[in-house]
């Protein structure tokens, strides 16, 4: 069937080429999209000698088993995958394939037919040609999809449409010929970004902005606090919000989380002898000192994400300055502002080694504010800190799709009403584009599984994963615990090894039995009959009349019924469970060192 569909796809490409040839127009390059086995067909196109790779510029596959078949029903399917892998190996050495870009998208844990590892060809294809993403890591999606839903998921369709349109050169309305340009467009639209503080302002701004340029803006002040939620109602004017002072110590970072509020410009002003609640000269910060990250929006029914901003300022060049935000909002809006000290983001802040479920290990949070004010004026009521970062060092945690995974539990209570503010957890694995954003709900236990799709040991990066927790600022009480969930680990083992191994074992077991039943009349010696009776006697009975083909064919239906009988199915289920148990034991032994031994020996 795959070969027939490949013939059809090859014929379709050649037909499109002939249409443009007869009209004396240059045929445009085509973007090929395949779902499930259609993705394998799209890759199998390039293994044909009569195919023209120049007709295609990008291949997008959705939930496609590219690396290995889901069910190995025969040697032909294995040969197809082998040819596809040979094509991947030839990409680096063949000039005719250098323009191709490949994108593979999988649905995550909801897809019970094709698990993510079957679609990840990064071991064969370099990152300059290939990108593998799960829907839960795609910017603007952040959800898992089942095998069919991945074709019509609205958030995914919108993200892909934006990427496809931006891959077209607006000057000539044709796709960009450069593979690097198309891959950069795909990454900019689909790859989620983590919360980053690893950047500093390159230099001090020199010339102040004329205040008359902002004469129509209203000044607002939230000073002398480290954490504050600024709320505003409808206004037709822009707002200059004065915050700070900041950069009291080296390494302080700034977190901004607006809701229905546009932060157009960010300035700093010196902390002179004048009152902190008065206007000051504005020095514009360059765009390189500001990072914007897309995160899930407040409205779950909307596909529009929110922006989270981080600002990093050199404490030596900017000492004791105020931060000025130029804001626009046309309705109820809010802004979370927090100065994050280096003690809450440094590598020393590691996630504690968890216990096994149901024993949760509590994570202590230092939510105390400084006892003294930052200025000489009276201090307003302090708000509790909300941002915390925890690192997951490789010496203490093992990462992989079938390894024990820590589960983070976050509970928030004693919350007051707010305009659009909510909690957020961001999990970042610095390999394979794995960034997960999860919204937190108040008054419930939010569980976040810190699971990686691929093991860290296969990669050369020295960076360790980390998880960022942003508590809802209006909640006074927060409880964070971490534990290992045996049930979650077992479910993952069953998903990887049972749901995908059992169809393969069932099909191969059935086909082997039928093959031996039908083929036995054509092989002479009774050694075959003895071997069949000794090895497969629980599944069918071999007659002594090996040369009567008609009799064997008439008994085929009875044989099939015997194979599918309750007794033989139970023995087959036992074999599958034994396979799963073996995989579970292997995973257990691989991670025993990380789980049971103390941290010092790690």
Pairing label, strands 218-223, 239-246: parallel
Structural domain count of the chain:
4
Closest CA to 60 of 130, 113, 134, 3: 130
Burial class of residue 460 (count of CB atoms within 10 Å of its CB; 0-12, 13-18, 19+):
exposed
pTM, two decimals, is 0.80
Which two three-digit tokens encode residue 324? 């000025």
Flag whether 375 is in a domain.
no
Residue 140, phi-psi category: left (phi > 0), alpha (psi -120 to 50), beta (remainder): left
**H/E element holding 501?**
helix 499-519
Top-confidence residue, 448 or 501: 448
Last residue of a domain, which of 469, 484, 499?
484
DSSP 546-573: TT-HHHHHHTHHHHHHHHTSHHHHHHHH
What pLDDT, on the 0 to 100 scale, is given for residue 545?
44
Last residue of a domain, which of 130, 165, 190?
190
What pLDDT, on the 0 to 100 scale, is given for residue 567?
56
Shared domain for 42 and 175, answered yes or no, is: yes
Flag whether 374 is in a domain.
no
- Write the CA distances from 76 to 121, 384, 507, 512, integer angstroms: 20, 63, 15, 15
Shared domain for 198 and 172, answered yes or no, is: no
Q: Mean pLDDT score of the chain, rounded to an integer?
A: 79
- Write the CA distances from 359 to 19, 46, 409, 482, 484, integer angstroms: 67, 53, 12, 9, 9
Shared domain for 169 and 70, answered yes or no, is: yes
SS3 of 9, please?
A: helix
The pLDDT of residue 547 is above 60:
no
CATH code assigned at 12: 3.40.50
Last residue of a domain, which of 455, 484, 513?
484
**H/E element holding 163?**
helix 154-166
Shared domain for 467 and 501, answered yes or no, is: no
Shared domain for 358 and 239, answered yes or no, is: no
Shared domain for 160 and 228, answered yes or no, is: no
The residue to which tokens 């929110």 are assigned: 306
CATH code assigned at 417: 2.60.120.1300
Q: How confident is the model at residue 546 (pLDDT cuts 50, 70, 90)?
A: very low
Range of the domain at 241: 193-341
Flag whether 411 is in a domain.
yes
Which two three-digit tokens encode residue 110? 């909801």
User: Whole-angstrom Cα distance, residue 131 to residue 147?
Assistant: 19
Pairing label, strands 321-328, 218-223: unpaired
Instruction: Convert the pLDDT of each residue in 189-211 to its tens digit.
Output: 999 999 988 765 555 555 677 77
The pLDDT of residue 285 is above 90:
no
What pLDDT, on the 0 to 100 scale, is given for residue 62?
97
Shared domain for 322 and 238, answered yes or no, is: yes
Shared domain for 148 and 77, answered yes or no, is: yes
């Amino acid at each position: 069937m795959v070969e027939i569909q490949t013939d059809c796809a090859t014929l379709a490409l050649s037909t499109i080429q002939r249409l443009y040839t007869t009209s004396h127009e240059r045929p445009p390059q085509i973007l090929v999209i395949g779902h499930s086995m259609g993705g394998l067909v799209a890759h199998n196109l390039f293994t044909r000698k009569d195919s023209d790779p120049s007709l295609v510029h990008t291949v997008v596959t959705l939930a496609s088993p590219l690396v290995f078949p889901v069910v190995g029903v025969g040697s032909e399917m294995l040969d197809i995958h082998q040819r596809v892998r040979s094509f991947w190996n030839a990409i680096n050495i063949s000039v005719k394939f250098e323009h191709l870009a490949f994108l593979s998208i999988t649905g995550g844990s909801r897809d019970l037919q094709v698990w993510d590892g079957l679609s990840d060809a990064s071991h064969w294809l370099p990152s300059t040609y290939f990108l593998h993403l799960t829907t839960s890591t795609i910017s603007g999606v952040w959800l898992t999809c089942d095998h069919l839903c991945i074709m019509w998921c609205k958030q995914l369709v919108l993200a892909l449409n934006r990427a496809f349109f931006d891959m077209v050169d607006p000057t000539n309305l044709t796709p960009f010929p450069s593979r690097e340009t198309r891959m950069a467009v795909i990454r900019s639209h689909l790859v989620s970004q983590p919360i980053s503080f690893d950047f500093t302002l390159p230099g001090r701004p020199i010339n102040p902005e004329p205040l008359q340029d902002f004469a129509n803006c209203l000044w607002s002040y939230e000073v002398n606090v480290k954490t504050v939620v600024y709320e505003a109602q409808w206004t037709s004017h822009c707002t200059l919000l004065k915050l700070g002072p900041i950069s009291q110590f080296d390494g302080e970072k700034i977190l901004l989380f607006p809701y229905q509020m546009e932060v157009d410009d960010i300035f700093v002003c010196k902390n002179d002898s004048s009152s902190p609640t008065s206007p000051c000269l504005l020095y514009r910060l360059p765009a390189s000192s500001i990072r914007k990250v897309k995160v899930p929006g407040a409205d779950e029914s909307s596909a529009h994400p929110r922006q989270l901003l981080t600002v990093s300022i050199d404490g030596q060049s900017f000492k004791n300055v105020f931060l000025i935000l130029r804001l626009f909002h046309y309705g109820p809006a809010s802004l979370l502002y927090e100065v994050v000290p280096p003690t809450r983001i440094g590598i020393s802040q590691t996630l504690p080694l968890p216990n096994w479920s149901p024993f949760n290990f509590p994570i202590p949070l230092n939510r105390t504010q400084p006892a003294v004010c930052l200025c000489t004026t009276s201090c307003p009521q302090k708000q509790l800190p909300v941002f915390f970062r925890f690192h997951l060092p490789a010496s203490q945690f093992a990462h992989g799709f079938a390894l024990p995974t820590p589960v983070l539990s976050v509970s928030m209570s004693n919350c007051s009403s707010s305009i659009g503010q909510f909690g957020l957890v961001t999990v970042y694995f610095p390999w394979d584009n794995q960034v997960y954003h999860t919204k937190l709900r108040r008054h419930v236990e939010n569980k976040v599984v810190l699971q990686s799709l691929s093991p860290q040991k296969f990669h050369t990066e020295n960076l360790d994963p980390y998880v960022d927790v942003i508590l809802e600022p209006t909640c006074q009480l927060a409880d964070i615990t971490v534990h290992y969930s045996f049930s979650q680990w077992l479910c993952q083992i069953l998903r990887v090894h049972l749901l995908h191994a059992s169809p393969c074992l069932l099909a191969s077991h059935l086909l082997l039995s039928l093959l031996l039943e039908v083929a036995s009349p054509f092989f002479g010696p009774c050694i075959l009959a003895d071997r069949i009776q000794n090895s497969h006697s629980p599944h069918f009975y071999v007659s002594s009349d090996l040369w009567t083909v008609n009799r064997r064919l008439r008994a085929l239906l009875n044989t099939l019924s015997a194979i599918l009988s309750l007794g033989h199915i139970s023995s087959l289920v036992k074999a599958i469970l034994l396979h799963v148990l073996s995989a579970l034991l292997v995973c257990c032994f691989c991670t025993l060192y990380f789980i049971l031994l103390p941290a010092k020996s790690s």
